[in-house]
């Protein structure tokens, strides 16, 4: 009988440790910033970073032409830089989550989305005018339309990622503001000696 009692006593601490581990993982997954990290912004950051690098490289390719392109207001360079910065910041935020990092990510996501709106408003008229020129002057502008179309498509794809990440970051930040900190104070009963 002693053996059964000892084995039961030995199993209890192990069971309690497992429950504590489960409770800690549940607590971490229910925190708002950890919910943001659980959606893996690093993966999206890597993709956005690659699109940013492609945008900058295409900007260097377009430097030597004489045609009117989106390079007129340096879209590939500042848009690519915004994408690269968003990607790096998303990667860093997943590795070191904090409220300040998520706030800075959200701000940069919004600025990048505004930049995409400017990009769309510049590239669509360029693509339309190049398409009209192809019909009238020949096919030597196909390369410029292709580059502008690819960059427009990549900007639209990145905008979908940024909208998703902005929603996640906004939700995480909104949830952290509404958390309540409960402190438990233990009141010791006064002894009868002190009362008399």
Asked if residue 176 belongs to a domain, the reply is yes
Residue count of the chain? 196
Q: Are 113 and 159 in contact (CB under 8 A)?
A: yes
Instruction: Say if residue 103 is in the same domain as residue 159.
Output: yes
Predicted confidence at residue 36, as pLDDT, reads 80
Instruction: Say if residue 56 is in the same domain as residue 108.
Output: yes
Instruction: Say if residue 71 is in the same domain as residue 5.
Output: no
Range of the domain at 18: 1-30
Instruction: Say if residue 69 is in the same domain as residue 131.
Output: yes
> Against a cut of 0.75, is the pTM above it?
no
Q: How far apart are CA 132 and CA 6, in angstroms?
A: 88
Predicted confidence at residue 27, as pLDDT, reads 40
Burial 132-150 (b: 16+ CB within 10 A, else e): eeeeeeeeebeebbebbee
Predicted confidence at residue 52, as pLDDT, reads 96
- Low-confidence residues of the chain: pLDDT under 50: 1-16, 18-30, 178-180, 182
């Amino acid at each position: 009988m002693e053996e059964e009692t000892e084995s039961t006593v030995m199993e209890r601490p192990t069971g309690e440790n497992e429950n504590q581990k489960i409770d800690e993982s549940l607590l971490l997954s229910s925190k708002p910033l950890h919910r943001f990290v659980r959606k893996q912004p690093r993966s999206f950051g890597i993709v956005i970073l690659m699109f940013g690098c492609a945008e900058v490289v295409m900007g260097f390719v377009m430097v030597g032409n004489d045609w009117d392109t989106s390079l007129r207001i340096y879209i590939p360079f500042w848009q690519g830089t915004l994408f690269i910065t968003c990607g790096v910041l998303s990667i860093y935020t997943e590795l070191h989550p904090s409220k300040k990092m998520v706030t800075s990510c959200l701000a940069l996501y919004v600025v990048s989305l505004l930049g995409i709106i400017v990009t769309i408003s510049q590239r669509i008229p360029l693509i339309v005018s190049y398409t009209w020129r192809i019909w009238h002057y020949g096919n030597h502008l196909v390369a410029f339309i292709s580059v502008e179309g690819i960059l427009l498509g990549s900007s639209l794809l990145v905008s979908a990622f940024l909208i998703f990440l902005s929603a996640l970051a906004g939700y995480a930040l909104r949830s952290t503001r509404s958390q309540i900190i409960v402190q438990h104070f233990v009141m010791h009963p006064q002894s009868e000696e002190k009362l008399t």
